[in-house]
A = this chain, B = another copy of it.
Amino acid sequence: MPVSVSKLANGLTVATDPMPGLQTAALGVWVQAGARCEAPHHLGVSHFLEHMAFKGTTTRSAREVVECIENVGGYLNAYTSREQTAYYARVLKDDLPLAVDVLSDILQNATFEEQEIARERSVITQEIGQCIDSPEEYIFDVLQESAFPDQPMGRPILGTVETVGNMTRAHLTDYIADRYGPSTMYLMGAGAVDHAALCEWGEVSFSKLTEPRQTAAPQAAKWQGQPFLETRPLEQAHLCVGLPGASVHDADFFTAQIFSEILGGSMSSRLFQEVREKRGLCYSIYTYNTSYEDCGLFSIYAGTGGESLVEIVPVIVGEIEKMTNEIGHEELARACAQGKAGILMGLENPQSRCEWMAKHLPRFGRVQSADELVAQIEAVTIDDLKGFATRLMETERPVLTAIGPIETLESYSQFAARFGSAR
């Protein structure tokens, strides 16, 4: 991959991944600040700030911010995760200087007017309501909280109705001063983009950044799994099992990905075959593997009729346990092929290429090439996978979350006894 990386005089890191033949470009600023950087009194400030960036600057009204990009057919968006906040655009090639200008404007010159803050409290409160109403989304929020209770890593990205209701202008400006600056921000472009040009625009546009006051890493995460069970009048019971996964620096990082692929990553995976194809117990069942700086969360989701909960939980745990002593070469080869093809397909999408750089650069100081990634995937062995299965089965405090008609679900102590030393 022809990725170029430069550090500008203003301290900002710029990275580009040009794709010949494209007429459009994906562009964005990724900030190393997310929900796990927050203190309890301003929960949700990372995400609130992401909203407020679109609410006007010293030279553009809120409407002008979005109109100037949408006038040329582009779009502007943003998201907040637990470790990053991203502000990004997709535009035609010729509109890249405009996109850099707008991104630099919303990140340096946002005005945070009181009236806009008041309105956004209401919008985000609505967003929280929408999340709670979507059981397949909400269950992952409570999963995170149940894995890491009473600590920054477990708190909801959106904040709570209470903390959002109490959000002030000072919370926002303090948070920016604490966490946003050239050493925590990465300007990335992929597609129809030229490295020298992006560096030049970045140098001019991001001249007002100052170093963040807080450079300490956020509080380390500590796994303290517990249950979350909520009876709701739904058609389906929505269920997650959560176990400690691999951090991004863990020797098992690639093992965890291949393991997830084999257990529940595709239609030929063990859980899909056993739970849906053989038993017909559900429509959706899949694994989800999230890696953070210092920890990981490995989870299995299933949506099923309440009467099937008795059957499905032992099957899920049983499939993990089986992988402690029996994994086929064919399964491993298939998961590797899926991992490799996924990399190639991602390379054909400019937004994916930006995400890739945004994951690698802050963590490793460079962007791993497709060949390097493939080599690491191919290095995963059956013994590694069995070892990872054993590691999952040794969990002392597994997480069990369930929402819906869950009256027949086994107790948490029964569930926990399937893992750890109680086994």
Contacts and interface: CB of A to CB of B under 8 A. Distances in A.
A283 B71 contact: no
9 closest A-B pairs by CB: A73-B341, A129-B235, A73-B337, A119-B280, A122-B280, A127-B283, A66-B267, A126-B283, A129-B236
A72 B337 contact: yes
A72 B404 CA distance: 38
Contact of A341 (B92, B122, B334): B92
14 contacts: A23-B348, A70-B266, A70-B338, A71-B330, A72-B341, A92-B341, A92-B344, A119-B278, A121-B280, A126-B236, A126-B305, A130-B283, A133-B135, A191-B348
A222 interface: no
Contacts of A62: 277
Contacts of A124: 283
Interface string A108-130: 00000000001111111111111
Given A133-B136, A233-B233, A348-B350, 17 more contacts: A24-B341, A24-B344, A24-B348, A66-B267, A70-B338, A71-B268, A73-B339, A73-B342, A90-B345, A118-B280, A119-B279, A122-B281, A124-B283, A126-B281, A126-B303, A132-B235, A134-B136
A11 B133 CA distance: 48
A253 to B, nearest CB: 20
A304 interface: yes
A91 B345 CA distance: 9
Nearest to A119: B280
Contacts of A195: none
A217 B280 CA distance: 35
A268 B130 contact: no
Interface string A49-92: 00000100000001100110011111110000000000000111
A176 to B, nearest CB: 22
B266 A66 contact: yes
A63 to B, nearest CB: 6
A408 interface: no
A177 interface: no
A340 interface: yes
A331 to B, nearest CB: 10
A197 to B, nearest CB: 20
Contacts of A273: 63
A361 interface: no
A70 B24 contact: no
A338 B73 contact: yes
Contact of A119 (B21, B277, B338, B348): B277
B23 A20 contact: no
B20 A21 contact: yes
A159 to B, nearest CB: 14
A214 interface: no
A333 interface: yes
Interface in A201-239: 233-236, 238
A118 B277 CA distance: 11
A175 to B, nearest CB: 21
Nearest to A338: B73
A204 B137 CA distance: 45
Contacts of A66: 266-268
Interface string A263-297: 00011100001001111111110000000000000
A132 B283 CA distance: 13
A123 B276 contact: yes
A8 interface: no
A22 interface: yes
B71 A333 contact: yes
A281 B91 CA distance: 29
A325 interface: no
Given A70-B268, A277-B63, A344-B24, A282 B75 contact: no
Given A63-B277, A122-B280, A126-B282, A71 B235 contact: no
Contacts of A334: 67, 70-71, 73
